[in-house]
Amino acid sequence: MELYELTIHEAQELLRKGEISAVELTQAVIERIVEVDNQVKAYLTVTPESALEQAREADRRQAAGEDHSLLGIPLAIKDVICTKGVPTTCGSRILENFIPPYDATVIEQLRQRGAVILGKTNMDEFAMGSSTENSAFFPTRNPWDLSRVPGGSSGGSAAALAADECLGALGSDTGGSVRQPAALCGVVGLKPTYGRVSRYGLVAFASSLDQIGPFGKDVTDCTIMLQAIAHYDARDSTSVDVPAPNYAQALVPDIRGMRVGVPREYFVEGMQPGVETAVRSAIEKMADLGAEVDEVSLPHTEYSLPAYYLIAPAEASANLARYDGVKYGYSHPEVEDVWDAYRQTRQNGFGPEVKRRIMLGTYALSAGYYDAYYLKAQKVRTLIKRDFDQAFGKFDVLVAPTSPTVAFKIGEKVDDPLQMYLSDVFTLSLNLAGICGISIPCGFADGLPVGLQIMGDAFAEEVVLRVAYAYEQSTEWHRRRPEL
């Protein structure tokens, strides 16, 4: 086995025993990036010198007797999370040369634990997209089939992990942007409860929906990553002061007697048959493991997509107003006056999907339309949340497909926004409700990975992790890796 193929917990063990060094591990991963990233194109920025310096420091800390879960572990970071001294572009021309003067809270937490940061991964511009084709720079490719998308918007992080170009990664999830690419790339991706992980230093898309989440090669790695970043942060007004439990204690391969709900609204017409077959088979496996499986209804699910595409663009239109060519970021050089400067900067700096969503959101918030659209969408959001509250009164977790299809061809949906938006039809509801969910590999359809989504109530990550771990340990899907 090559060093870059290790999981975080396998590498941890070898580092603690002194059988490998952080420098050797980091060097192996950097060489892997050099070898395959010209095909996958997962990274926007790689910082090999800085990574090796961090690895040397990790080795010094290890020798001094420090013992942290991520000490010497090479990680990739989605390029929407601020990293001091390293470009943070959000996949956009408007921030192409932006270098933050500070680290996001999650980056501070990773550094405290001795993690090695390899670089920044590609993404849909400002996290708006489901395929990583909306990046202003280039599309990322799926390591299982280079002609297909890796999902989005955190496609770079998921593809880097699937291609063994890192041992773990961070993404952000506004409507499925961690879970959907995890499903399409055959890795594990977790969206924590809203408020569980600090958003300080996460460049905002939709502030009431955004949440940073980890990617891992298996559930154990995802758990280690979550433990590192799940902390209260006074700098984030939406951070909730609820102590994080010891998530590792949840990793027991026993779900006998646990109540698993299967929402009938998540099995819809138009779903790829192979996806439904794989997910139904995974649900049967849970029943075999002793879970009590029953059907449940979430009646307002059909309104999730329209509600999301009013609320998220409305918040984006407000959040992205700051990119005006004055304070930082791209500023169009040839302008007549300040109004022309605003127009030209935003016209040339933003890509078509970002402009589409800004216009949608601005319209939804405009005088005369606010009550009819934005306010009504917020009321629907409350109904969606109540559906989940009632379901979690009867069930410990809900299980469903993560995505209605496997990875689609690059270019297949790029000219049809509605078809692209439907890629997230099973993931949006969780963000609207503010609860947690994980996507884990559960099989293949047409030779491509299928993801199983396990949803939990607010701050019930350990319940979700327990079910995910028990299922994972009873199957071999998480061990399959693409050949590059």
pLDDT in tens, the chain (484 residues): 999 999 999 999 999 999 999 999 999 999 999 999 999 999 999 999 999 999 999 999 999 999 999 999 999 999 999 999 999 999 999 999 999 999 999 999 999 999 999 999 999 999 999 999 999 999 999 999 999 999 999 999 999 999 999 999 999 999 999 999 999 999 999 999 999 999 999 999 999 999 999 999 999 999 999 999 999 999 999 999 999 999 999 999 999 999 999 999 999 888 999 999 999 999 999 999 999 999 999 999 999 999 999 999 999 999 999 999 888 899 999 889 989 989 999 999 999 999 999 999 999 999 889 999 999 999 999 999 999 999 999 999 999 999 999 999 999 998 888 889 889 999 999 999 999 999 999 999 999 999 999 999 999 999 999 999 999 999 999 999 999 9
Nearest residue to 190 (alpha-carbon basis) of 238, 224, 161, 226 = 226
Note the pTM of the prediction, 2 decimals.
0.97
Of 87, 189, 206, whose CA–CA distance to 439 is shortest?
189
Quote the Cα angle for 396-398-404, to 5°: 165
Token representation of residue 56: 């040397």
- Token duo for residue 40: 């996958």
Q: Do 125 and 353 form a contact (C-beta atoms < 8 A)? A: yes
d(CA 212, CA 191) in angstroms, rounded, equals 7
- Which residues, other chains included, contact 93 with Cβ-Cβ below 8 Å and sequence gap of 6+? 136, 330, 348, 349, 350, 351
Q: How far is it, in rounded angstroms, from Cα 439 to Cα 427? A: 10
Q: Is 484 exposed, middle or buried (0-12, 13-18, 19+ CB in 10 A)?
A: middle
Instruction: Mention the CATH class of domain 3-257+396-479.
Output: alpha beta
Listed in sequence order, the residues at least 6 apart from 109 whose beta carbon sits closer than 8 Å to its beta carbon are 228, 229, 231
Catalytic residues, by residue number, are 78, 153, 177
Q: How far apart are CA 282 and CA 269, in angstroms?
A: 20
Tokens of 162: 């699937």
Beta bridge partners of 188: 216
